[in-house]
Amino acid sequence: MRDWAYCFWWQDSSLAASDRRAVAWHTVAMTSNDQTLIPQTMQPKWNADGLLPAIAQDARTGEVLMMAWMNEEALRLTLSENRTVYWSRSRKSLWRKGETSGNVQELVDVRLDCDGDTLLLKVHQVGEGACHTGRRHCFFYEPKDKQWVFGASACD
Amino acid sequence: MRDWAYCFWWQDSSLAASDRRAVAWHTVAMTSNDQTLIPQTMQPKWNADGLLPAIAQDARTGEVLMMAWMNEEALRLTLSENRTVYWSRSRKSLWRKGETSGNVQELVDVRLDCDGDTLLLKVHQVGEGACHTGRRHCFFYEPKDKQWVFGASACD
């Protein structure tokens, strides 16, 4: 059973935040027999290198644009500057997306996943695209005859 | 400049495959002065643990459902069985998504990204959802007051 009651109460803005939280906890407890009890808060679980994978999705079209990595500072700057800032593993430095190309990603929304080890960023992609090749997105190799070949989706 | 000519020719099905490839190479060469020359094939670049991150996206709605990991065998099985098979890092074993829950992900499409280190899977999500909590997707913690809290998107 899904915890629809929980969702209903959480979104009921006529309740004060503290009441919503109390009701929510109660409702989760009431429905926890047949579902996983969900922690109310989550901490990012940085990997051994202090990084998390961050998926950038076009907030308007839903296209998955790219995947990159963030350390704690990159995430903090992304949230404070409202634009994506990644950690470049090859250059070992912060990387403000679009700093040189102009193809900035303005932050629309950000979510952490159920086990705290992946970020999903909804963004407004400025300019031609997210990919360093100038394409709209990075996912353009298709499996064909046991190879990954440059495909039609590269033209998206 | 984008290589629109390349895309045009590639998609022109009146040409034989070998001609399309020849024209495409020529066109890329013609337009490579002001853009990155793109390799025509790509190999998966497995990380030090022999894994790649794999993003599962709902093929119909565009929702990003989850992110998990694949090793070479998981990817091979995903392609041959037309359903997602991941590598569970915690259990250190292959994990046929939905094997116990029934929430199978039927494979619709798969792409490798521009530098070969991330997979994007378009899937048809069977059952309630992709998340082990029974939710549609895994991305339901929102940043609020310097915490990540269970949010309204959990009700998607």
d(CA B111, CA A103): 23
Among chain A residues, the shortest Cα distance to B24 is held by: A150
User: Would you call A29 an interface residue with chain B, using a CB distance cutoff of 8 Å?
Assistant: no
This prediction has a pTM of 0.80
Is there a contact between B114 and A134 if contact means CB atoms under 8 Å apart?
A: no
**B23 interfaces chain A, CB cutoff of 8 Å:** no
pLDDT of residue B15: 43
Q: Is B22 on the interface with A (CB under 8 A)?
A: no
What CATH architecture is B52-142? Roll (3.10)
The residue in chain A having the minimum alpha-carbon distance to the alpha carbon of residue B115 is: A138
Gap from B97 CA to chain A (nearest CA, Å) = 16
Provide ipTM, 2 decimals: 0.80
- Average of per-residue pLDDT values in chain A: 82
Structure tokens at B109: 């499409």
pLDDT of A32? 40
For chain B, strand residue ranges (E) read: 41-42, 52-58, 64-70, 85-88, 93-96, 105-113, 119-125, 139-144, 147-150
Task: Give the model's pLDDT for residue A37.
Answer: 80
**Would you kindly state where each structural domain of chain B is located, as residue ranges?**
4-34, 52-142
A78 to chain B: nearest residue by CA?
B143
A25 touches B: beta carbon within 8 Å = no
pLDDT in tens, A35-92: 558 899 999 999 999 999 999 999 999 999 999 999 999 999 999 999 999 999 999 9
Among A104, A112, A109, A122, smallest CA distance to A56 is for A122
Percent of chain B with pLDDT over 90: 68
Question: CB A148 to CB B62 under 8 A?
Answer: no
Q: Which amino acid is at B66?
A: M
